[in-house]
Structure 1
Amino acid sequence: MANPTTEWLQAKGWIAFPFQKTVWKAMKQGHSGLLHATTGSGKTLAVWLGALQSLAKTEAPLTVIWVTPMRALSHDTLLALQDAAATLAPSWTLAARTGDTTSGERASQQRRWPTALVTTPESLSLMLSRADAPDVLKRVRLVVVDEWHELLGSKRGVQLQLALARLRRWSPALMTWGLSATLANLEEAADTLAPGAIVVRGARDKKITIDTLLPARIERFAWGGHMGLTMLPAVVGHIDAAASTLVFTNTRSQCERWFQALLDARPDWAGLIALHHGSVDAEARRWVEAAMKAGQLKCVVCTASLDLGVDFLPVEQVLQIGSAKGVARLLQRAGRSGHAPGRRSRVTLVPTHSLEIIEASALRAAVQAGHIEPRRPPAAPLDVLVQHLVTVALGGGFRPDDLLPEVRSAPSYRGLSDEAWAWALAFVRHGGESLRSYPDFQRVVPDDEGVWRVPDPRLARRHRSNIGTIVSDAVMSVQFLTGGRIATVEEGFIARLRTGDVFLLGGRALELVRVEGLTAYVRVAKPDKALLPRWDGGQFPISDTLADAMLQRFDQATQGRYADREMRFVAPLLKLQAQWSALPGSQQLLAEVMTSADGHHLFLYPFAGRVVHLGLASLLSWRAGRDTPATFTMAMNEYGLELLSATEVDWAARLPTLLAPVDVATLRDDVLASLNASELARRRFRQIARIAGLIFQSHPGEARSQRQLQASASLYFDVFRQHDPDNRLLRQAEAELLSAELDVAALGRTLDRMAAQTLNLQRPARPTPLAFPLMVERLRERTSTESLAQRLTRMLAEVEAAAGGGAVPDVDARIAFGQPDDATRPRTRRRRR
């Protein structure tokens, strides 16, 4: 007897892969699992056809819930599922339920639930808050989590863990399957999704071509921080030669600039190229996706908004402007081309400066070696737990003794202490000791039978309007004390400043006077004040995996081995670096000490990424200044950092002590002391307070601004610090600050790694190829564009002459053609100790 699935595949001209058959067999046996396979290799079909084979005879409402990380992907996912279901399960109904679903559609679904529902973690939690949730959701037989790698390491993933634990309570035989393309820690990822889940690895013969669009010549003294638009003619040629192209950029500003530059270069492409990023209207994004699928567009310039899910079969190639900064991100983007089993994916890297050419070589080596970054789930975030308790209280209520084992069955809460559980219960019951007197915080109370419920319909509506763990980033207004508004900047930048710090914005040196809510009040700074230039936060940091691969490339170059065309292309740069100083490496920590007209320089190259380098530079300057007061100007990029001082420092004697690893508690205290940690924690607390239900993004029919949210969060922050200093949400804010924003764990690993390396301190006579970009960024902040161009021209002429000649790039054209970009620009700051 013919198998309907086989017949359907044959009608499509397809045959089942072995890994797909493995999934089908496991699902028939009722197993949960994680399917890990390259993008476009048939993961969706593997699990969906397995569901249709195993559950097609089950026609109960809500048999399958399909979770997608982005509501924008729900429509595309629904279309993909409907194709097979129409033939193999014609009686099944399919629908989507996300934040974009209209009230009419929701009402229709509730009258008759579909057999399979595509939704998001937030909408699934909202369904759990329904009074009839136990009756509606107990019939679910299968939950599929698409793009699990995108959720695993976030609070959204923790929210989903708790939702799955709830569903398993009602349906103990529930199957859970995750789909992933880019993960290293597969066993941990599978266990986090469903304890005891099996891991199925997909086909490994997916062909991925990774090449690099090299410039016409090597710049031995490269300076980053521009859009890469000097590569525009070559990119235009590449796009022209292909039928369809996705051009990935790392920031929205870079995306906008490249889109406009392509149109300027090729006006005849008007209507054939499009723009796609998170700030583009949702309807416009859907039009772009549909047009790309239909083969109507030649090129789409995009950001991470197209990293996931959407099936662009016609895409012939992917271009990545600048470094992807991580192996997993590169693989995800490469998979947007050739997005079908058996098709080759192709990604071409477009470096924006010479050092990114080394990154390109290292990325390909890491891909070939199968090295991908792991993603770790957060450990027991109490704000997510508090929100879940209110959700469960709305969805039928709970008894604490019954709910605790369920919560601890979610892997992130396996280590939840009895004390933390008791605190969470007290918090939802009356807001803790400091908020006990306020009725709005008596959200959940036990009834006469000991079942905890939400007694107030007003609080119930408010909670349902704010379910979720996604918190939006805020920007702050910068204005003079006299009232004149200057600009807006990232909140994280202002949060790191102390009163009296000076920074450059809009070409003016401004001194911070005070911060109120989301407004920073400033005045014009005196000429002799130390400068802390503009913060460029929120961009992709280089991953540990990529950094290790780069250091291996330097090791090979030290041995005279240049393994590929990229490394052979940058050989003149590396040979000059070795001649004037030395090359960094996996076993050697390179430090350079130099004196110039600007002062005394220390250049250090840990290759740990800009976030770690920020913490390391702040830590070094703070430790160095404890004994001898000094003023340090700091600059950092992905590869290293610079400390510049007016007085000479004996770095050869002091570095081993300053870089010595310490215990976790001491490192934590040192980092908190070296930065404006109190204000940073206050800003982090706003996000936690929103998730925990202390403040609300919106009330039914009313949205609140970031300014209102920050004012409310600050009030609670101050109340807790004064009257409840051991409040666990305060402690969580500090812990998240250390782990997420400052990445103290990575800083600790970096200090340990540097301690195991041999310190190679060099004293070059002039800026080396690795030091030059750091110096340029410091100069950029302190001079006008014209002055910078003049000085850069002189500097380049001097170092090129010392290096034996070479053409000096057109600095004026490069500054004008490629303005500084947040994605690649090192940060510089100056602080008096």
Structure 2
Amino acid sequence: MNRPRRTPLANRADPAPGERALTQELPTRLSDWFDARGWQPRRHQLEMLEQARAGRHALLVATTGAGKTLAGFLPTLVELLEAPTPGLHTLYVSPLKALAVDIQRNLMAPIEEMGVDIRVETRTGDTPSDRKARQRIKPPQILLTTPESLSLLLSYPDSATMFAGLRTMVVDEVHAFATGKRGDLLSLCMARLQRIAPAMRRVALSATVADPDGYRAWLAPDGDIDEVALVKGEAGAEPNIAILLPDGRVPWMGHSGRYAAEQVMAEIETHKTTIVFCNTRSLAELIFQDLWKVNAMSLPIGVHHGSLAREARRKVEGAMADGRLRALVATASLDLGVDWGDVDCVIQMGAPKGSSRLLQRIGRANHRLDESSEAIVVPGNRFEYLEARAALDAVEAGELDPDIFRPGALDVLAQHVMACACAAPFAQADLLDEIRSALPYSALADETFDRVLGFIRDGGYSLKAYDRFKRLTQDPDGTWRVSHPRFVAQHRLNAGIIVEATMLDVRFNNGRNLGRVEESFAAQLSHGDTFFFAGLSLEVMKIDQIDLIVRATSRPARIPTYGGARMPLSTSLADRVRAYLATPSEWTRFPDDVREWLDFQSRRSQLPQPGQLLVETFPREGRNYMVAYSFEGWNAHQSLGMLITRRMETQGLKPLGFVANDYAIATYSIEKVTDPASLFNADILEHEFVDWVQQSHLLKRAFREVAVIGGLVERQHPGKKKTGRQVTFSTDLIYDVLRKYEPTHLLLEAAWADARARMTDVGRLAGLLDRAAETMLHVDLDRVTPLAVPVLTLIGRERVATGTADDALLIEAEALAAEAMRID
């Protein structure tokens, strides 16, 4: 039986006088619709209407369940009721396809109930081609889309006609992409739409914005925040968040919370509908299987993530909307905006890594302003318990993760310029002026824009001899146009910002396949590096297209763990965890075993103070260990581990490997580290970092992504899609040519920027190294310490056969813990 969906509107019978006056100004059909349900619009919804009537752009920051969607669309409904138009009136942009579909479903209910002729349609990568063609000729009044689909629409010559009457653009969940490459593309699209429809209003919605002025500047034409009104929603009920503790002790190891499958299933049994959030797709699959094994009541549960086929995703979304599922295991594919009224509990498996992310996910439960959202966090280990506690405290304090805006990416700019050229020839000065009205590109230099145009014109100095790269032509009058119609078709087939991750086959030279690893891991390897995989110690021979060629070796594995990039621990949560460690009075809030763990650490060694880098060294089983508690996140630690072990090699310390988690990095070697300061010297970023990036495939991988985004290499031809191997082969050939003959090429510059900022968290590395020089505290010990146990349990994770991994690691963790907690 279908359960009734909750509405984003909350009942409120007694509006304030100003609200009552505005409500009376609503069109009769709309006010009657409210009255029939005994509802009144909320203050911020009416304020958004007031800003619309004044013709102002607006940013709405309101908690989940406050009716942001209605606030964004209320002016549209009013205007279409007062002055119906057959053309496109409102464009809604979402970061997720699922959210666009959900918004369409929510909008259609009041439209149908009011009996008005307003068409609402979606346009995403899942939309059939015949519908897309019809939408360009006869668009709906409200079109729901994504940044990529909007960019493609703007590449058509008839886009100027289609968008000429556009009145409003609504950007939902703006925090999810404004600071990244998708936000760069969207800002450029907004600039183009503003030129086509000068009267267009820009509206952005979000529940988790730490820097409203930053987003107002991003939203505003020419970055003028005075043109954007800030509307704040009403405060809702405080969320009810709990940390789930195991029946026994908080684990020493792990990061997924899989130990709690039975406890999670018990929560599912006592709630109407539960969403179980996981931080990665692979973990979502594992948790789904774990829950099925303990699902004694055979309750209907599903799984949802971005790797699933469209049909599978739509089937699960439909089942949730109809109330036919008791639980859904999901990733970030569903943590933005999707409103399923029956969801009354959210469970986060593993630490959330940021307070903003936790708030977004909590908001999926109850989706009402007047009821507390119920959520449970399942920490994977003792450090993650502290992180979970930090996230709860941050939510209670209203502290959000910082928003970091940066200059727009050049590969994205190249893609947008090509889209503009596909629509119509352009004058260079006019397009540059338009581009500079988008905040990420407001400081774009004339010379840089010349380089972008030159790149699209012929590929650059090293590639200009090849016709396949001559996409633009400049006519004698200075106007730029597409060189041949085939380049228009090529652009529309291949445009997009999201480049799918590639997996590499791990093979011996004789062709025997051992399995697959993420390319993001393989990209960090160089010839001679060793790592554990499939129970073997393997040495890297070469990376051949998309094969990682290895040989078995008796040498110890330098890198015992592997995996793709993970969500980094936010700096604000890291600071809170540091504060807990330095404040014993806070420990009374922690479970006994966590409190005991910290107490033993303070007696055996030291606890790092805020801003301090604690480094411990100790021997164990014939090896010498160094553990640095830096709290800069797994990605930064993984990169630093590569650099430090190389420096240890040059110092004759004979490193055997390293491991890292979000909180610490641990190296182990034959010789003892006596001067850790020399390993953490800041010049490591000037020497070893550059050498490592150039020798590894990290830069080559980054180049592949910017080459695809920038349009240098196509993923698809008409009627045929390239394989990942073919794309890799094409980009690697071009990369080698450019590195040799044109090292200053625009895309190599863009690849360096990506490799430094996104793939290695180099900014956090620099901060860590600066802190090390000033605050390092080196403690030399005779054995392992309690604080080191969680990271050391990672060593050898891949050395054991799959079937015995959990048991072997548990035994190792217990041995480490017993040694660390031993009372002498």
In the alignment, is residue 505 of structure 1 matched against residue 533 of structure 2?
A: yes
The equivalences for 1:448-463 within 5 A come to: 449-463=477-491
In the alignment, is residue 760 of structure 1 matched against residue 777 of structure 2?
A: yes
- Which of the residues 263, 272, 276 maps onto 2:292? 263
Summarize deviations over 1:24-58 as a string: whole Å, max 9, x none: 11111111121111222210001101222245415
The equivalences for 1:641-652 within 5 A come to: 641-651=665-675
8 A Cα contact 1:513 1:521, kept in partner: yes
- Which of the residues 323, 338, 346 maps onto 1:295? 323
Range 475-484 or range 747-756, more displaced: 747-756
The one-letter amino acid paired with 2:552 is V
In the alignment, is residue 59 of structure 1 matched against residue 102 of structure 2?
A: no
Q: Give the direction of change, closer, same or farther, for the CA distance of 1:421–1:697 in structure 2 (3 Å limit).
A: same
8 A Cα contact 1:27 1:54, kept in partner: no
Task: Identify the residue that residue 115 of structure 1 maps to in structure 2.
Answer: 141
Summarize deviations over 1:483-540 as a string: whole Å, max 9, x none: 2122111112222111122222111222221221101222222x13553334122222
Range 83-92 or range 609-618, more displaced: 83-92
Summarize deviations over 1:625-646 as a string: whole Å, max 9, x none: 4444632521111111112121
The one-letter amino acid paired with 2:374 is R
TM-superposed CA distance for 1:252, in Å, is: 2.4
TM-superposed CA distance for 1:292, in Å, is: 2.0
Q: Give the direction of change, closer, same or farther, for the CA distance of 1:766–1:742 in structure 2 (3 Å limit).
A: same
8 A Cα contact 2:560 2:796, kept in partner: no
Task: Identify the residue that residue 479 of structure 1 maps to in structure 2.
Answer: 507
Q: Describe the SS at the equivalent of 1:152.
A: coil
Task: Identify the residue that residue 548 of structure 1 maps to in structure 2.
Answer: 575
Q: 2: CA distance between counterparts of 1:59 and 1:113? A: 11
- Which of the residues 252, 265, 278 maps onto 1:236? 265
Q: 1: CA distance between counterparts of 2:328 and 2:800? A: 36
Question: Could you tell me the TM-score, scaled by structure 1's length?
Answer: 0.90
Q: Describe the SS at the equivalent of 2:133.
A: helix
- Which of the residues 726, 733, 757 maps onto 2:751? 733
Question: Could you tell me the TM-score, scaled by structure 2's length?
Answer: 0.91
Q: 2: CA distance between counterparts of 1:341 and 1:242? A: 19
8 A Cα contact 1:334 1:345, kept in partner: yes
Q: 2: CA distance between counterparts of 1:89 and 1:383? A: 46
Q: 1: CA distance between counterparts of 2:153 and 2:633? A: 41
Q: 2: CA distance between counterparts of 1:756 and 1:318? A: 42
In the alignment, is residue 700 of structure 1 matched against residue 718 of structure 2?
A: yes
TM-superposed CA distance for 1:89, in Å, is: 8.7
Q: 2: CA distance between counterparts of 1:483 and 1:80? A: 53
In the alignment, is residue 324 of structure 1 matched against residue 355 of structure 2?
A: no
Summarize deviations over 1:4-27 as a string: whole Å, max 9, x none: 344433333332222222211111
Q: 2: CA distance between counterparts of 1:383 and 1:439? A: 20
Task: Identify the residue that residue 724 of structure 1 maps to in structure 2.
Answer: 742
Range 54-63 or range 292-301, more displaced: 54-63
TM-superposed CA distance for 1:251, in Å, is: 2.2
- Which of the residues 607, 616, 641 maps onto 2:640? 616
Q: Describe the SS at the equivalent of 1:247.
A: strand
- Which of the residues 186, 192, 200 maps onto 2:212? 186
Percent identity at matched positions?
35
Q: 1: CA distance between counterparts of 2:647 and 2:510? A: 38
Q: Give the direction of change, closer, same or farther, for the CA distance of 1:748–1:567 in structure 2 (3 Å limit).
A: farther
TM-superposed CA distance for 1:381, in Å, is: 1.4
In the alignment, is residue 50 of structure 1 matched against residue 70 of structure 2?
A: no
Range 731-740 or range 180-189, more displaced: 180-189
Range 583-592 or range 134-143, more displaced: 583-592
Cα-Cα RMSD: 2.4
Q: Give the direction of change, closer, same or farther, for the CA distance of 1:199–1:795 in structure 2 (3 Å limit).
A: closer
Q: 1: CA distance between counterparts of 2:627 and 2:537? A: 26
The one-letter amino acid paired with 1:770 is L
Q: Describe the SS at the equivalent of 2:794.
A: helix
Q: Give the direction of change, closer, same or farther, for the CA distance of 1:386–1:733 in structure 2 (3 Å limit).
A: same
Range 793-802 or range 27-36, more displaced: 793-802
TM-superposed CA distance for 1:790, in Å, is: 6.3
TM-superposed CA distance for 1:623, in Å, is: 4.0
Q: 2: CA distance between counterparts of 1:325 and 1:795? A: 24
Q: Describe the SS at the equivalent of 2:498.
A: coil
Q: Give the direction of change, closer, same or farther, for the CA distance of 1:27–1:569 in structure 2 (3 Å limit).
A: farther
Q: Which has the higher contact order (CA 8 A, sep 6+)?
A: 1
The one-letter amino acid paired with 1:156 is R
8 A Cα contact 2:99 2:338, kept in partner: yes
8 A Cα contact 2:240 2:372, kept in partner: yes
Q: Describe the SS at the equivalent of 1:570.
A: helix
Q: Describe the SS at the equivalent of 2:348.
A: strand
Task: Identify the residue that residue 205 of structure 1 maps to in structure 2.
Answer: 236
In the alignment, is residue 174 of structure 1 matched against residue 212 of structure 2?
A: no
Q: 1: CA distance between counterparts of 2:73 and 2:258? A: 43
- Which of the residues 783, 795, 818 maps onto 1:778? 795
In the alignment, is residue 3 of structure 1 matched against residue 26 of structure 2?
A: yes
Q: Give the direction of change, closer, same or farther, for the CA distance of 1:401–1:211 in structure 2 (3 Å limit).
A: same
Q: 2: CA distance between counterparts of 1:415 and 1:335? A: 37
Q: 1: CA distance between counterparts of 2:367 and 2:348? A: 17
Task: Identify the residue that residue 390 of structure 1 maps to in structure 2.
Answer: 418
TM-superposed CA distance for 1:365, in Å, is: 0.8
- Which of the residues 144, 150, 153 maps onto 2:170? 144
Q: 1: CA distance between counterparts of 2:529 and 2:543? A: 12
Range 731-740 or range 441-450, more displaced: 441-450
Q: 1: CA distance between counterparts of 2:459 and 2:817? A: 64
Summarize deviations over 1:101-121 as a string: whole Å, max 9, x none: 212212332332211111111
Summarize deviations over 1:287-345 as a string: whole Å, max 9, x none: 22222232222111222221122211101101111111111111111111011332221
8 A Cα contact 2:287 2:329, kept in partner: yes
Task: Identify the residue that residue 542 of structure 2 maps to in structure 1.
Answer: 514
The one-letter amino acid paired with 2:721 is A
Q: Describe the SS at the equivalent of 1:592.
A: strand
Q: 2: CA distance between counterparts of 1:260 and 1:632? A: 36
In the alignment, is residue 601 of structure 1 matched against residue 625 of structure 2?
A: yes
TM-superposed CA distance for 1:144, in Å, is: 0.6
8 A Cα contact 1:36 1:200, kept in partner: yes
Q: Give the direction of change, closer, same or farther, for the CA distance of 1:570–1:123 in structure 2 (3 Å limit).
A: same
Summarize deviations over 1:671-695 as a string: whole Å, max 9, x none: 2234565521111101111111111
- Alignment gaps of 5+ in structure 2: 1-23
Q: 1: CA distance between counterparts of 2:332 and 2:466? A: 43
Q: 1: CA distance between counterparts of 2:256 and 2:56? A: 49
